[in-house]
Amino acid sequence: WADRPSLELFTSLANDSDATQVPLMAVLSSRPDARTEAALSGLPHIEVGELEDAERRRLIAGRFDGAQVPSDVSQAIVQRAGGNPFFIIELVEALVDRGVVTLEGEGRERRVVRKPGVPIALPTTLEGVIAARLDELPEAERRAIRWLAAAGAGISPKALSKMAGTDLDEALATLEERGFVSRNHGDTYGFPSAVVRHVAYETTDEADRETMHKQIGAWLSAQRVPAPPARVARH
């Protein structure tokens, strides 16, 4: 998702002989893309493929705290997610959120149990499963994650609450516990994945998004130390 100037800067840093005079490590992650070939050409790189079947099942068991997972549950998750680890994690969380499965027992007897009569119905895309999980959130938490998606990462709970005109502290803390958002340095919030922010933003009503951006821009402009014009202009 890098823009051209960012790729050009990365390529320049990586190929500039003067840059070797100081310790410098540049890291770029990308899907296979012709745009990044120039930046990666001649540089050490690691190709990350899909998880193998055994790795997928270990990840599923790990997300269930090491509990015994029925083969039909594991198979349903693997069939949907393939070898995408983030998709696997989201599907596990979706099953728990919906109460389709529960954890019972202790120690070695701890196991995943399906709720009787409830089918394992899972979305077929990563965006779909995230959207389904967001739809099932209480209104306060859904409002908080959408405000954060509009404002962007690096916002403190206090600042976001002032932008929204309502206290979002408790909702953000709950979202963090459920893995929807992450707490960063300086007591600010962000997203564990750009996909979560994208889905939260795109599933917000267009009129609500417009209102959010106007309020965020107005709040940024009114600060004692005004935000950079480009940041205000984005809203």
Contact between residue 209 and residue 235 where contact means Cβ atoms under 8 Å apart: no
Burial of 81 (0-12, 13-18, 19+ CB in 10 A): buried
**12-60 pLDDT, tens digit each:** 777 766 655 777 777 778 877 777 777 777 778 888 889 999 999 999 9
More confident of the two residues 163 and 1: 163
Spatial CA neighbour of 129 closest among 103, 95, 153, 171: 95
Spatial CA neighbour of 39 closest among 65, 14, 67, 20: 14
**101-118 pLDDT, tens digit each:** 999 998 888 999 988 887
Long-range contact set of residues 56-65: C-beta below 8 Å, sequence gap at least 24: 56/81, 56/83, 56/88, 59/85, 59/88, 59/89, 60/88, 60/92, 63/88, 63/89, 63/92, 63/93, 64/92, 64/103, 64/112, 65/103, 65/110
pLDDT at position 134 is: 93
In angstroms, the Cα distances linking 197 to 10, 165, 189, 217 are 25, 21, 12, 19
**211-231 pLDDT, tens digit each:** 999 999 999 999 888 788 888
